[in-house]
A and B are shown apart, each in its own frame.
Chain A
């Protein structure tokens, strides 16, 4: 991959040194393996997201970085140094907790200054730094309040300010926006990104919300059962998932099982009497065999008349219509009996919609619209 200097992608540079590296890390609790022989490098200034269902080991990875858990096997390095024997209080890593973990007996300012008071910093410097952090999260007027006198969003900002106050090399965020409502969460996502960009601190976020990961992260690691399935940029993960698990976890997807043949373009046969489909090999090397076509709903067009000039067109019947305001998702039963989702942006008013339940429709997509997966 060629990189211009304007694009932030240290992971693609051969000589870049990672800030954090997990080197074949395994963590087991009794018989349960939470993290399984996992290796990954995270670079300075990254906003790295660990994404996965609960129990996939993402929180354990974060807790090992913070120092609350020790790897059973393997090593974690921060700036080249092995972290194993450093207690949490000695690590240049701070964490923002899911519950925020604000100290209820301390004021907002004292919460933020808590970590600074335990460093070598002088009193005037602590005061100045606290002021600065309060300003960063726009809570200057709330310095004297106690946590229970704040709203959820304000508490979240205090927790962020507190964890950033010591200028950690790495900030860990454990489901930081989980407790906020959707509007506030989206707004806060942008705030987080702005803060991360302006400070240049490396952020690592744990989340099970794929939209959140897509929005904030420079790279996403999709995890399952203690392993990282794929690490890539949000766009890459969405457009080129390496297997069905990733494709299914990020966004909506139609997965069509088929047998592929061909060299330049894959010809997909789905079964006897069914129309074969065409797809580009994409990043896969050509080769005959069973595979899956992942097709995002927004890349499938719905039309009443037979479409012209596309590589794939299938006839089907509308089973369900999910209207969500800006989008409409059609659930269409195709020749094989499978339900395929197709999404349209609602540019016109609802009343003008020409397709309704039970209507026969055409689904069409280009051969480059989907992605082929062997796993």
Chain B
């Protein structure tokens, strides 16, 4: 069985800042692996532990991805295919799903593809469903449980207070939530070994895509601007003993007309 975790390198949203006009600036902001993608890698490693003979092949994209992918190799992926995302900058999920689908076909397919419920920057949750359509395979999103038994993926999904248990024939796609597991922290030795694991870098042309299929030319949605919402708050610090603070807070809330 071959499992392909999808790994997206994103700007660290906690370090994104707005300029004086409120326009978001991302230049110089460091990159990281999108949060839930590590939960996806962890889910893959746990399946491998129970199913000997499994191969985990990460498919990762990002601006500095050759370095970034080492983190997931250290967690237990066997090898990685990486694509530098500056090659498809300006893509929406319509365009980036073309890249991911083409790369998966190029690597000879996958039995189980695992992504995150949403990415840290865009958080559309569209990539997995789009990929399922391109590859013609089923998908379950927001997984909080995932096991493979024979030719079936058993997936528990949590959607808005309803738990659904699915049985899905392989090949399929599953996108996972943070609650599915706690991603492991690799030991030093694994980090050292990760540098030696095979990592192949592909260009878009290697996966058979031309420039106009991706980026702004291939996108279905254009971002016109990205602006920080205004947050003007009073920022009053209430001091004193708990009783004094409570009293002052009640007065303030009354003045505000809260009750």
A, B assembled together: no
Interface positions of B (Cβ within 8 A of A): none
